[in-house]
Chain A
Amino acid sequence: MAARIIARCVRSLNHRTVYFNRINTAATLTAAPLTHGRTLSQLTNGHKSPLAQISGSSFQVFQWRQYGDLPPLTLDTIHDRVLYVLKLYDKINPEKLQAASHFTKDLGLDSLDQVEIIMAMEDEFGFEIPDADAEKLMTPQEIVQYIADKKDVYE
């Protein structure tokens, strides 16, 4: 019966997860009852990470553990997100924006704008940047570097 519920949930997700589910129902019917609850919550959360584990091999019983967490950060994604947030800021001309463009010297912003930009970065990445560090970040590249340092992203 749980498999029927899972199937119903999956139909509302994209078709890739349906493939996953066909394997999944075969696997979970033989697996422990605990994984039923886990997969149901996974599917209702729309978590895509279970898919990564099926790639290729089929009809294998997977013991997966899911933790609620954000996708891992890479230098590229940080860079893209920083530039995206900056492009959304109304005082910046998106054409002139480069990774090395200085906020005050190249983009003509003032320190109040720089405070707002750092606030926007805090919102985007979800962690607080202390004042002493915030006032030193003057180019997008420095922001990317700082976030990578704080979030232990190495490449």
Chain B
Amino acid sequence: MAVSRLPAAALSLKQFLQRQKVLGVYRDLLRTIRKIPAESDRRYLRDWAREEFKRNKSETDQDVIRMMITQAHNHLEDLRKSLALAGC
């Protein structure tokens, strides 16, 4: 996910919007993880999310990035549904 582009390099509008989407889904993910009751689970998932996003940081292909954003959204929905089932 092309989130670490230097400000010096000009981003096209599409790339800029995609970058915002990535950061948005990362933020939503962190906010949902915050709601998890167990501290160890919370830490584990936070590290997992961090790892996943950092690993794909240097991706430049827009379609691949779009796919990864969708995957992240799916993970987020799974997490939200599990939390709802567990009663938060």
Contacts and interface: CB of A to CB of B under 8 A. Distances in A.
Interface string A97-136: 0000000100000111001100100010000000100110
A134 B54 CA distance: 20
Main DSSP-derived SS at the B contact region:
helix
Contacts of A110: 3-4, 57
User: What is the interface residue range for chain A against chain B?
Assistant: 10 to 19
A111 B53 CA distance: 11
B54 A112 contact: yes
Contacts of B26: 112, 115
Consensus secondary structure, chain A interface: helix
B36 interface: no
B31 interface: yes
B50 interface: yes
Interface residues of B, number: 16
Contacts of A111: 3-4, 19, 23
Contacts of A135: 20, 23
B27 interface: yes
A115 B23 contact: yes
A110 B24 CA distance: 15
A119 B23 CA distance: 12
A95 to B, nearest CB: 24
Nearest to B4: A110
A112 B31 contact: no
A113 to B, nearest CB: 9
A125 to B, nearest CB: 14
B30 interface: yes
Contact of B57 (A112, A116, A119): A112
Contact of B27 (A104, A115, A123): A115
B7 interface: yes
Contact of A104 (B7, B19, B31, B34): B7
A116 B4 contact: no
B27 to A, nearest CB: 5
Contacts of B23: 111-112, 115, 131, 135
Contact of A112 (B7, B20, B34, B50): B50
A123 B31 CA distance: 10
B2 to A, nearest CB: 10
A31 B7 CA distance: 66
